[in-house]
């Protein structure tokens, strides 16, 4: 099938993009890498009168570190994130998550902002964002705002973005000190969306091996990425048994049955993936200073 007819807009700046978006309200959608939007349009699962192609807005591209944060422009391709030395050094969890997204052809076009705005609950980047405590920057004709990742994902394919708003960047806090990171997922085939997954960040105290901070983001186990707050708190409180951390993490999740897996399967596998990721992150953190 082909998409329904639409009017194509090609802004060169964020200001132009949000002006067009504001003019057309819920009839307009930004077009980023097109890896999710174009199939949805072609299958007629979605229809918009106006597509605002932000691929020529240079100010939306780039990776910068400042004041303990890594700022990544929304239109930065996933392939660029995958190859970037600053990301590898300052946000290893994001670097390790990226090769798990689809296939390299998809990552060559797909963008970090598109993945976050699309908000597929089985996506890796949203879970990494909630695990690390990221923030998203949003622009609109009336001004800009920042939203914590933990408040950004509202439901399947639903975010805090309102009509007329454009996601412009994601800001990731740089976890420094004795840190470890791990991401684990279960997918039927390489490149498929995950049936369940866990992204974990851990920072240890300098003085001993106590956990100073823990971030756990789950994916594929509910309508949104899940911040596993009970498991995070238990790690900081001294709980070390991986199976117990896995159980606590899944207590915050809300998996459902679908054609790919049952809720029970996702719960069991999710708990194991959390346990494995926590063990790996702890081992890396104990291994050295970052
Ligand atoms: C075969 C296949 C396998 C895949 N496997 C995975 C996988 O394993 N894991 C995974 O995470 N993803 C997977 N994807 C999805 C892929 O990562 C997409 O790149 C991503 O979901 C969307 O990014 P995009 O830049 O292509 O956005 P688009 O498809 O252009 O847009 C997606 C949605 O986000 C909105 N949007 C995009 N950018 C912005 C912005 N800056 N501000 C506001 N709204 C915006 C669009 O309007 C649209 O609603 C797969 C895709 C395919 C085709």
Q: Which domains can be identified in the chain, with CATH numbers?
A: 7-53 (3.30.43.10), 58-173 (3.30.465.10), 178-287 (3.30.390.50)
Q: What are phi and psi of 69, to 5 degrees?
A: -125, 150
Indicate the top mutation candidate among 62, 107, 114 to test ligand 1's pocket, ranked by most ligand atoms within 8 A of CB.
Answer: 114
Summarize pLDDT for 224-283 with one digit per residue, the tens: 999 999 999 999 999 989 999 999 999 999 999 999 999 999 999 999 999 999 999 999
**Virtual torsion, Cα 246, 187, 254, 240, nearest 10 deg:** 10
Sheet (strand 143-148) strand order: 63-66, 69-73, 166-173, 135-140, 143-148
- Among 130, 72, 128, smallest CA distance to 100 is for 128
The atom number, within ligand 1, closest to the CA of 117 reads 34
Ligand 1 and 29: CB distance under 6 A: yes
Over residues 79-87, mean pLDDT:
98
Q: Whose CA is nearest to atom 9 of ligand 1?
A: 101
**% pLDDT > 70, the chain:** 99
Bridge partners, residue 206, by sequence: none
- The model carries a pTM of 0.97
CA–CA dist 205, 121 (Å, integer): 32
Summarize pLDDT for 14-62 with one digit per residue, the tens: 999 999 999 999 999 999 999 999 999 999 999 999 999 999 999 999 9
Q: Whose CA is nearest to atom 3 of ligand 1?
A: 102
Indicate the top mutation candidate among 110, 120, 169, 195 to test ligand 1's pocket, ranked by most ligand atoms within 8 A of CB.
Answer: 110
Ligand 1 and 225: CB distance under 6 A: no
Structure confidence at residue 200 as a pLDDT band (50, 70, 90): very high
């Amino acid at each position: 099938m082909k998409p329904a007819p639409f009017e194509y807009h090609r802004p060169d700046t964020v200001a132009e993009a949000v002006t067009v978006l504001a003019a057309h309200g819920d009839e307009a959608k930004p077009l980023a890498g097109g890896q999710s939007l174009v199939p949805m349009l072609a299958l007629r699962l979605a229809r918009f009168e106006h597509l605002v192609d932000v691929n020529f807005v240079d100010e939306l591209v780039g990776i910068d570190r400042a004041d303990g944060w890594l700022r990544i422009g929304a239109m930065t391709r996933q392939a660029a994130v995958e190859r970037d030395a600053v990301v590898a050094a300052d946000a290893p969890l994001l670097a390790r998550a990226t090769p798990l997204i689809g296939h390299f052809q998809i990552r060559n076009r797909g963008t970090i902002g598109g993945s976050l705005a699309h908000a597929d609950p089985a996506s890796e980047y949203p879970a990494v964002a909630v695990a690390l405590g990221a923030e998203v920057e949003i622009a609109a004709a009336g001004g800009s705002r920042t939203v914590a990742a933990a408040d950004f994902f509202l439901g399947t394919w639903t975010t805090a973005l309102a009509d007329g708003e454009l996601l412009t960047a994601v800001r990731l806090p740089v976890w420094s000190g004795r840190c470890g990171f791990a991401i684990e997922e279960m997918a039927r085939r390489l490149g498929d969306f995950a049936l369940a997954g866990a992204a974990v960040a851990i920072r240890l105290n300098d003085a001993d091996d106590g956990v100073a901070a823990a971030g756990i983001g789950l994916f594929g186990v509910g309508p949104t990425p899940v911040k596993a707050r009970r498991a995070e708190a238990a790690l900081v409180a001294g709980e070390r048994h991986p199976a117990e951390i896995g159980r606590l993490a899944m207590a915050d999740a809300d998996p459902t049955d679908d054609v790919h897996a049952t809720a029970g399967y996702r719960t069991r596998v999710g708990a194991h993936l959390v346990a494995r990721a926590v063990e790996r992150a702890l081992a890396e953190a104990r291994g050295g200073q970052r």
